Amino acid sequence: MSKLNERVVRHSPSRGAGSPDVWGVYEPDTGSIQYICADPETKKAALIDIVWNFDPKHYRFSTESMDQVLDLVRENGLTVEWVLDTHPHADHVMASAHLKERTGAPNAIGEKVRDIARIWAGIYNLPDAFDPDADFDRLFAEGETFAVGNLEMRVMLSPGHTLGSISYVCGDAAFTHDTLMQPDVGTSRSDFPGGDTAELWDSIQAILALPGDTRLFVGHDYGTSDRSEPAWEATVDQHLAENTHVKSGSDRDVWIKRRQDRDATLALPDRILAALQINLRGGRLPAAEVDGRHYLKLPVDRF
């Protein structure tokens, strides 16, 4: 029986000193993987890429995913120290603002979200709508470090999927978002505004230059014709040996053409035009209008 329609949770335990505990939480509606990264010693944790559930058929929101993640936090005696996102997601709405309110922890994303906001402000014709400096507590730069308990988390700029995507590296764990998919799938798309296929190749090569036993936690999984359960963890060495797109010996130019040809066949994610208006506000809806309701703006014939 397929588990691709279920909310699957898996624990990847710490391997010892300097190694975090990681819980992956699969969100079936969008194939997104949400993460808890925790210091086993202090029980301090970071939440990464948590979903605020959005039903695009009815334009309604619900909180099942963030509730499930916070239940796991409580069950494991953790304290949330950071609410993190790797990029402004196109396929799901981020729970960042809600989690900041519910946990009291600061929220953060990469500093190049400012450039992404400028692109999408033009697409929506909303020149003053987005202010990442106001909506996030920290905008991380390449190479910046911060603490999760007694563990150090390092920021890697990983553009390509978006121009401002970042990866988080904590000991032997790296949260690599929409760069790599699982080895039996390959890599992620790079055709959104500000994306760049050659930059994505470079980002992937930087990730694959991490130590071979580094656990890579990807942002999405949709299964395959041969695999009916979601998966999201593989080591650098596994990707180098098995990744169907970028294993050792793969040719850059061949991959770029393959990726671009594939991306040209892909439709927009069904949540993108709603999600980015909210995610570029840190997971907040636009201000309510005089009737007390919130409204989103959709560009017609833009894509």
Give domain status of residue 303, yes or no: no
Q: What is the CATH number of the domain that holds 254?
A: 3.60.15.10
Give domain status of residue 289, yes or no: no
Task: Report which residue type is found at 130.
Answer: F
- Enumerate the β-bridge partners of residue 156: 167
Backbone angles phi, psi at 217, to 5 degrees: -110, 115
Check residue 280 and give its pLDDT: 98
Check residue 4 and give its pLDDT: 85
How many whole angstroms separate alpha carbon 185 and alpha carbon 231? Answer: 11
pLDDT one digit per residue (tens) for the chain, 303 residues? 577 889 999 999 999 999 999 999 999 999 999 999 999 999 999 999 999 999 999 999 999 999 999 999 999 999 999 999 999 999 999 999 999 999 999 999 999 999 999 999 999 999 999 999 999 999 999 999 999 999 999 999 999 999 999 999 999 999 999 999 999 999 999 999 999 999 999 999 999 999 999 999 999 999 998 999 999 999 999 999 999 999 999 999 999 999 999 999 999 999 999 999 999 999 999 999 999 999 999 999 998
Q: Residue written as tokens 């959005």?
A: 54
Q: Measure CA 155 to chain center.
A: 13
Check residue 67 and give its pLDDT: 98
Check residue 286 and give its pLDDT: 96
SS3 content of the chain, % helix, strand, coil (to 5): 25, 25, 50
Give domain status of residue 284, yes or no: no
CA neighbor of 234 nearest in space, from 258, 254, 207: 207
Count of CB atoms within 10 A of residue 235's CB? 17
How many whole angstroms separate alpha carbon 234 and alpha carbon 185? Answer: 12
**CA max distance for the chain:** 59
Count of CB atoms within 10 A of residue 281's CB? 23
Check residue 1 and give its pLDDT: 57
Check residue 201 and give its pLDDT: 98
- Provide the angle, in degrees to the nearest 10, between the axes of the packed helices 197-207 and 252-263: 120
Total tally of structural domains belonging to the chain: 1
Give domain status of residue 299, yes or no: no
Look up residue 134 and give its two tokens: 């106001």
Q: How many angstroms separate the Cα of 212 from the Cα of each of 17, 18, 229?
A: 17, 16, 25
Give domain status of residue 86, yes or no: yes
Beta strands in the chain (DSSP E): 9-12, 21-27, 32-38, 44-48, 51-55, 60-62, 79-84, 93-94, 107-110, 138-140, 145-148, 151-157, 166-170, 173-177, 215-218, 233-235
How many whole angstroms separate alpha carbon 234 and alpha carbon 225? Answer: 19
Give domain status of residue 296, yes or no: no
Give domain status of residue 65, yes or no: yes
Task: Report which residue type is found at 32.
Answer: S
The domain in which residue 106 lies consists of: 9-279
The pTM of this model reads 0.97
Give domain status of residue 230, yes or no: yes
Which residues contact residue 145 at a Cβ distance below 8 angstroms, ignoring those fewer than 6 apart? 152, 153, 154, 155
Task: Report which residue type is found at 214.
Answer: T
Check residue 3 and give its pLDDT: 79
